[in-house]
Amino acid sequence: MEEEARKLLEEGIVKKLISPGKGELSTFPNGTKVVFHYRTSLCDGTVLDDSRTMGGRSKPMELILGKKFKLAAWERVVITMRQGEVAEFNCENKHTSLYPLVSQSLRNISAGKDPLEGQRHCCGIAQIHSHHSLGHNDLDNLQANPQPLLFTIDLLEVLAPGSFQLDVWAMTDEEKLELVPQIHEEGNTLFKQGKITEATEKYYNGIACLKNLQMKEHPGDEVWVKLDKLITPLLLNFCQCKLLQGQYYEVIEHCSALVFKYEDNLKAYYKRAKAHAAVWNEVEARVDFNKVLELDPSLGPSVAKELKAMEDRIRNKEKEEKGRYKGLFNYTEPPATATTG
């Protein structure tokens, strides 16, 4: 233990044991899966991230050792821990420079977004030295002013290689590409079973998987375009789930991105039209429904049904509002009462 602490100290990491673990220290061969909760703090005690509360839920971090995770310090410190151990690690700047990007990805994941959303098509070092905002003031400040960080790690599980199924993020590019059709089919099956939340997660995983591959290509290149065409049907299915969940503005955002790239994407216009109608954007909904008819006139009966439903909702809303405010404009002042002295 003392020898390991000395090695860490020489590398610019100070370990403080909070609670000892149990059993023997693992040898942590490459391919080992470690599951842990983490809390990241500035040296003044300001908490940046906490896996127990991030995104309103408690979800531990999972790492496959040897996969060159962007924040190498986490791999370095967990191999000094026993399962069940809790320890604090004070890491110098050289170990924490990429933390803002890692944190942004983790926050995106906790919010159900693309983990790479907001990151430019360049390496991590280039991003660190750019003036590109990460979308979080605390991370922007940390990126502009690198500093030591405190990582409090609670090591929950240590799983030997081969004893678990690989998560998508831990797969090779080839494995990811082969897995996407399976994820898509699983999502479709769940959707047909009415398990919309589970289907949404499947489609999201498929999209994130392909987005990860796409980020390695130059936008517009042949491989990038092929990947984008694989993403499109998954994204449309994802939007259908979001429609059913009432996430109309998210549908509008995703479908707008699709029609910007693919002007003849009928399904994107149809889903965006329905989302606009749901949030009372009558003009925008009519424009999109007209585009649907332009692309496929045979959908006339379906579009007419959607337009009638929208018009009925608008009329009902107007009636409710008239009834609500009717009394406000029919107020009659009561006659004055004579008084005698």
Q: Render pLDDT for 85-104 as a digit per residue (tens, 0 to 9).
A: 999 999 999 999 999 999 99
Element (H, E) at 15: strand 13-19
The confidence band for 169, taking pLDDT boundaries of 50, 70 and 90, is low
The confidence band for 81, taking pLDDT boundaries of 50, 70 and 90, is very high
The confidence band for 196, taking pLDDT boundaries of 50, 70 and 90, is very high
Average pLDDT over residues 46-62: 91
pLDDT of residue 172: 78
Alpha carbons 112 and 17: distance in angstroms, whole number? 34
Q: Which of 28-42, 197-211, 294-308, 312-326 has the lowest mean pLDDT?
A: 312-326
More confident site: 284 or 209:
284
Checking if the pLDDT of 121 tops 80, the result is no
pLDDT of residue 341: 44
Model confidence pLDDT, tens digit, residues 239-295: 999 999 999 999 999 999 999 999 999 999 999 999 999 999 999 999 999 999 999
Average of per-residue pLDDT values in the chain: 88
CA distances for 102 relative to 144, 147, 341, angstroms: 15, 15, 84
Q: Which of 69-83, 221-235, 322-336 has the lowest mean pLDDT?
A: 322-336
pLDDT of residue 318: 84
**Strand partners for 62:** 35
More confident site: 31 or 171:
31
**Strand partners for 150:** 41, 90
Alpha carbons 84 and 281: distance in angstroms, whole number? 54
How many CA atoms does the CB half-sphere of 90 hold within 13 Å?
10
Helix/strand/coil percent split, the chain, to 5: 55, 10, 35
The DSSP call for residue 25 is: P
Spatial CA neighbour of 200 closest among 251, 276, 255: 251
pLDDT of residue 338: 53
Average pLDDT over residues 56-73: 88
Q: Which of 160-164, 179-183, 184-188 has the lowest mean pLDDT?
A: 160-164
Alpha carbons 154 and 189: distance in angstroms, whole number? 37
Query: Length of the chain in residues, anyone?
Result: 341
Does the model's pTM come out above 0.85?
no
